Structure 1
Amino acid sequence: MPTARIASGHTAPGQGWQAYGANGIYIDVDTTAARFTGAPVYVTSISSTGGSQWGLVGPSAVYDVTATRFRVYVQWRDGSPLAPTTAQQYGWYINWIGYDNP
């Protein structure tokens, strides 16, 4: 019988962010190293090396969950334009913890 597995990690600061329309960005988070076998439950937060993440919405919502990856979309709380260059400038990154109970 498989045992439950817990793992954690984070993305590289400022790297991997992609545009999602004019007002949002997203990042695909690779969790392959965790060696999950099911569809884990992921808990996320956003951090930075340069600040300004306090004005974002979305960093705790995960989408497209698999054993090896998930996606996070973020945008400014006020809906103003947001581009990947902003995430790069502030060094935003996603922290994650995953729990897999196959």
Structure 2
Amino acid sequence: MPTARIAAGQTTAGQGWQAYGANGIYIDVDTTAARFTGTPVYVTSISSTGGSQWALVGPSAVYNVTATKFRVYVQWKDGSALTPATAQQYGWYINWIGYDNP
């Protein structure tokens, strides 16, 4: 019988963000190294090397969850334009913890 597994990680600061329309961005988070065998529960937060993540919505919501990845969408809470260049400028990155109980 498989045992429960807990793992954690983070994306690289400012890297991997993609445009999602004119007002949002997303990042696909690779969790392959965690070696999950089921569909984990992921808990996320956003951090930065340069600030401004306090004005975002969405960093705790995860989408497209599998054993090896998930996606996070973010936008400014005021709905103004946001691009991957902004995420790079501020050095935003996703912290994650995953729990898998197959």
**3-state SS of 1:73 partner:** strand
Q: What are the within-5 Å matches in structure 2 for residues 15-54 of structure 1?
A: 15-54=15-54
Q: Which runs of 5+ in 2 are unaligned?
A: none
Give the drift of 1:22.
0.1
Moved segments of 4+, more than 6 Å? none
Give the drift of 1:34.
0.1
Question: % of aligned pairs identical?
Answer: 88
- The answer on 1:2 being equivalent to 2:13 is no
Give the drift of 1:30.
0.1
Matching residue of 2:96? 96
Give the drift of 1:96.
0.0
**3-state SS of 2:9 partner:** strand
**3-state SS of 1:86 partner:** helix
TM-score under structure 1 length normalisation: 1.00
TM-score under structure 2 length normalisation: 1.00
Q: Which runs of 5+ in 1 are unaligned?
A: none
**Matches of 1:47 and 1:53, distance apart in 2:** 7
Give the drift of 1:70.
0.1
Give the drift of 1:12.
0.1
Matching residue of 2:84? 84
